[in-house]
Amino acid sequence: MLDWATIPARHACHRNYGGALTGLLRHLPFSWALGLSLFSGRNRLGVSAATIVSVFGIGIGVATLTAVLAVTGGFEEAFRDRILGVYPHAVVMSRGSTFTGYEEAAKLLERVPGITGVNPSTYDEMMISSDDASIGAIVKGVDLEGVEKVSSLRALTKGGSLKPLTYEPGKPMTVLLGCELASRLKVGPGSKVTLTTPLRGVDRGTPSTAKQSFVVVDCFDSGFFEYDSRLVILDLNAALQFLGRGPEVRWIELRFEDLFISDAMQPVIASALTPFTLVDFANDVVAIRNGIDKVIEDNLSDNRAKSVQDLQIATLSAQQSLEYSSAAFGPTQRYRVVDWKEMNENLFSALRMQKVVLVLFFLIIVVVAAFNIVGTQLIVARERVKEIATLVALGASKVQLMRVFVVHGFVLGLAGVIVGLVIGRLVVWGIQALDFGLDPQVYLITKLPAVLHWKDVVTIALSSLVVVFLSCVLSSWRATRLNPVDGLRKVV
């Protein structure tokens, strides 16, 4: 096998390589030096056209993939920010039909580390109407004292204040509408709207319908069409008065220090609301043991001789009694915690699936561009057949020649990835600088978002380089299959 360390530069550098390769050999390993020297064109005075085409082919594919990831990630982030501008990070709901003991539960939640805001609210679907239109709406009653701790609602209002919503007995009740909803109803500050609910309360077991006039005080613009076109905000006291249910809310809204810790906070919240002490554990163990003893006594305590069939029937009966027994272990689950991901699971699942599909689809462009390396290296190998033949004559193995072509192809691909990331970054800047308007009724937001994170950049670069490396291995294997005898015949 050829030992490159023992070959003087004057032998390793064929006359067609010139002094440039000699300099590379003095500073780099042989595979890298020879691989980099393959970038020169046929006249050795510049980069070959095939190399330029391959670099920009990979670059365009990477740039397209970068822009796609930025836009899909921007949609996900835009939806999340707009949803959490009006809604909380999580809600606590009662597992019963009503949530009446919410004041005590709210006090317990305020003491939980990691929770920065607690606020009870109602949430009902109703009909809202004006003199010009009637529209289905979602009416939400919020405690004005704590609403800023769980949402950015005040900052989203045109007037910048929620004080006009304050309920004062004896005075007209007021509402805050989404700006799109106000536009559809053709109302503004000072206008009157009517809310109609089919389930105001229960009178003698029969639900009653109620109507109430409200004065519009302001509108809010969250940037999310679903909320701006349907949401109505009331003071919690006004909502309770209108609904006639007494001190009952739909849920308690929560805000965390970090919205991404919602999964870890769920067991902490459950433990705070329904603590399970050692005494409770001991009582549950005793209750289960007593239940098992009673089932065995009722089904298997008869000492009379029994047939195998009787024993089977008795055992099956005992098993069923244990399965449907009322004995339980662990704390009673009175509450349910639903975080922002679960509340909007369909939307975010669709976004994630769309992101994966688009990435795989546009990765095909990178794959096609990367396989152009195969053709480029075959061209290079035919141009350098004399040099390859000389190296083979000196004792170079196919593995050593493959390393040369792998270095050449990988550096070519790396250059393409860098060019693509730069172009992609410029495209993202262009999208951010230009206001590409979107139809909110279709896309739910009004502007095309583009957000590029370092995690996405690393993902694009690594996946592209893996594709490039695989194509390099294939192209180097094919390039080394040329017959070196043909090259030796051309050596002068």
Query: Is position 332 within any domain?
Result: no
Residues 353 and 303 in one domain: no
Residues 438 and 466 in one domain: yes
Residues 18 and 101 in one domain: no
H-only helix segments in 324-397: 340-343, 345-370, 372-383, 385-393
Is residue 184 scored above 90 in pLDDT?
Answer: yes
Last residue of one domain, picked from the residues 273, 304, 334: 273
Express as a percent the part of the chain with pLDDT over 90: 23
Q: What is the C-alpha to C-alpha distance for residues 26 and 32, in angstroms, rounded to an integer?
A: 11
* CB-based contact 24:36 (threshold 8 Å): yes
Residues 412 and 427 in one domain: yes
Task: Let me know if 185 is exposed, middle or buried by CB neighbors in 10 A (0-12, 13-18, 19+).
Answer: buried
More confident position, 468 or 388: 468
Query: Is position 88 within any domain?
Result: no
**Local confidence band at 219 (pLDDT 50, 70, 90 cut-offs):** very high
* CB-based contact 194:213 (threshold 8 Å): yes
Residues 125 and 155 in one domain: yes
More confident position, 233 or 282: 233
**Dihedral angle, C-alpha 51, 52, 54, 60, nearest 10 °:** 160
Q: What is the C-alpha to C-alpha distance for residues 271 and 268, in angstroms, rounded to an integer?
A: 5
Number of structural domains, the chain?
Answer: 3
Query: Is position 10 within any domain?
Result: yes
Residue 54 is predicted with a pLDDT of: 79
H-only helix segments in 122-206: 147-150, 153-156, 179-185
Express as a percent the part of the chain with pLDDT over 70: 70
Residue 438 is predicted with a pLDDT of: 81
Q: What is the C-alpha to C-alpha distance for residues 404 and 482, in angstroms, rounded to an integer?
A: 15
* CB-based contact 362:62 (threshold 8 Å): no
Is residue 12 scored above 50 in pLDDT?
Answer: no
Task: Give 323's Cβ-side CA count (13 Å radius).
Answer: 6
Report the range of poorest mean pLDDT among 94-108, 161-175, 308-322. Answer: 308-322
Residues 303 and 363 in one domain: no
Is residue 157 scored above 80 in pLDDT?
Answer: yes
Residues facing residue 177 across a β-bridge: 219, 232
Strands 231-235 and 134-142: parallel
Residue 316 is predicted with a pLDDT of: 76
**Dihedral angle, C-alpha 343, 348, 353, 357, nearest 10 °:** 170
Residues 420 and 454 in one domain: yes
Is residue 18 scored above 50 in pLDDT?
Answer: no
Query: Is position 338 within any domain?
Result: no
Q: What is the C-alpha to C-alpha distance for residues 181 and 154, in angstroms, rounded to an integer?
A: 18
More confident position, 83 or 476: 83
Q: Which domain holds residue 27?
A: 4-80+345-490
Residue 86 is predicted with a pLDDT of: 87
**Local confidence band at 143 (pLDDT 50, 70, 90 cut-offs):** very high
**Local confidence band at 331 (pLDDT 50, 70, 90 cut-offs):** low
Residue 464 is predicted with a pLDDT of: 86
Residue 92 is predicted with a pLDDT of: 92
Residue 243 is predicted with a pLDDT of: 87
Residues 185 and 293 in one domain: no
Task: Give 266's Cβ-side CA count (13 Å radius).
Answer: 15
Residues 114 and 22 in one domain: no
Residue 381 is predicted with a pLDDT of: 63
Distance of CA 308 to the CA centre of its chain: 59
Query: Is position 220 within any domain?
Result: yes
Residues 142 and 253 in one domain: yes
Query: Is position 101 within any domain?
Result: yes
Residue 180 is predicted with a pLDDT of: 92
pTM of the entire predicted model: 0.70
Last residue of one domain, picked from the residues 232, 253, 273: 273
Residues 423 and 301 in one domain: no
What is the distance between the terminal CA atoms of the chain, rounded to a whole angstrom?
A: 25
Query: Is position 86 within any domain?
Result: no
**Dihedral angle, C-alpha 301, 307, 310, 312, nearest 10 °:** 100
**Local confidence band at 255 (pLDDT 50, 70, 90 cut-offs):** very high
Query: Is position 334 within any domain?
Result: no
Average pLDDT over residues 75-104: 86
Residues 263 and 284 in one domain: no
